Amino acid sequence: MRTLKGPAIFLAQFAGDKAPFDTLDNICEWAAGLGYKGIQIPTWVSSFIDLEKAAKSKTYADELKGRVAAHGLEITELSTHLQGQLVAVHPAYDKQFDGFAPKEVHGNPKARQKWAVQTLKNAAKASKNLGLKAHATFSGALAWPYLYPWPQRPAGLVEEAFDELAKRWLPILDEFDKAGVDVAYEIHPGEDLHDGETFEMFLERVNNHPRANILYDPSHFVLQQLNYLDYIDIYHERIKAFHVKDAEFNPTGKQGVYGGYQGWTKRAGRFRSTGDGQVDFPSIFAKLAQYDFEGWAVLEWECALKHPEQGAAEGAPLIDSYIIRVTEKAFDDFAAAGTDRAANRKMLGL
């Protein structure tokens, strides 16, 4: 067993135009002041990282690591959640997802996808240059509009979607394999990879690729009413990244998991700041320690009620309290009898 690393924080929900959230140095100083030891960097925030430069220049990558280290922090992973989404987009979402890409590819899905694929490949090289072991991203989705089978789905529709998804991701996974970095897909509603069944469908089609792995975020399983502790038992070998994010599910006579098109504050299932929801984090941290998870515990703040800065301030000490310093000895070592094989055989009457 090993002790989880942390606490760390995902910077995506905090990045902005005003200090201390406007530059990498400012936000690092802020995070370190709250007690965080690591940062997960969203690569679409150009004031934090030049991803293409990090992919091409080891010198730049070393300088970036040095700037972060000067604040007493480490880079836990890079994130391409927005760009990964664009690897596979159903046409129904083209207009909405154009905002995730540069203006020059807006209205051109093929060009947008090509840009996204190259960005992911850059992320593989940048992660290698930064000495990182895992990368956080989304899978994208082709089948999501057909989640509920009404009208009845045509035979082969879902299979075709997953065949195409795998085809698009295989060259990217191979690039990450060359870099020695795991792709950790956040298992997330809105993505084709949103639970265990869909992850296995994808994994089969990429030939159990060693770099096709999981970013574990229990909040998305609470909202789906999936057993998030069993999920660790089943997929622990593939869990390579971890978001510490809370949620609650309070169904009523009016709504359940689908939310009735209500805003986040009025949904039966909603995200909460860490410690304010229903996620059993002590049990999660225990299971991850049990299975020798070697990654970081990274706070992701998303809450329908609480201010992000309060959530961030409360999150660091909470995560620190959840992290188990794993034991190097058995609790009952004090009672060991120190017997040998002959004594054992005698005890068995042999």
Q: pLDDT band for position 329 (50/70/90)?
A: confident
HEC string for 2-37: CCCEEEEEECCCCCCCCCCCCCHHHHHHHHHHHCCC
DSSP conformation class of 240: E
Question: What pLDDT is stored for residue 328 in this prediction?
Answer: 76
Helix, strand, coil percentages (3-state) for the chain, rounded to 5, are 45, 15, 40
Q: What is the CA radius of gyration of the chain?
A: 22
Q: What is the pLDDT of residues 11-27, one digit of tens each?
A: 999 999 999 999 999 99
What's the mean pLDDT when you consider all of the chain? 96
Q: What percent of the chain has pLDDT over 70?
A: 98
β-bridge pairing 296-299 and 212-216: unpaired
As a whole number, mean pLDDT of residues 34-49 equals 98
* Correct CATH for 5-347 of 3.40.50.20, 3.40.50.720, 3.20.20.150, 3.30.70.120: 3.20.20.150
The continuous run of DSSP H or E covering 342 comes out as helix 341-347
Question: What pLDDT is stored for residue 327 in this prediction?
Answer: 76
As a whole number, mean pLDDT of residues 47-57 equals 98
pTM as predicted: 0.95
As a whole number, mean pLDDT of residues 166-183 equals 98
Q: What is the pLDDT of residues 77-113, one digit of tens each?
A: 999 999 999 999 999 999 999 999 999 999 999 999 9
As a whole number, mean pLDDT of residues 50-64 equals 98
Q: What is the pLDDT of residues 316-326, one digit of tens each?
A: 999 999 999 88
Between 335 and 306, whose confidence is greater? 306
Q: What angle do CA 158, 164, 167 make, to 5 degrees?
A: 145
Question: What pLDDT is stored for residue 64 in this prediction?
Answer: 98
Least confident of 130-134, 154-158, 331-335: 331-335
How far apart (Å, rounded) are the C-alpha atoms in residues 228 and 225? 9
Q: Where are the domains of the chain?
A: 5-347
Q: Which two tokens stand for residue 9?
A: 């924080």
Q: What angle do CA 177, 180, 186 make, to 5 degrees?
A: 75
Written as one letter, the residue type at 245 is K
Contact of 228 with 222, CB cutoff 8 Å: yes
Question: What pLDDT is stored for residue 16 in this prediction?
Answer: 97
The continuous run of DSSP H or E covering 333 comes out as none
Between 339 and 200, whose confidence is greater? 200
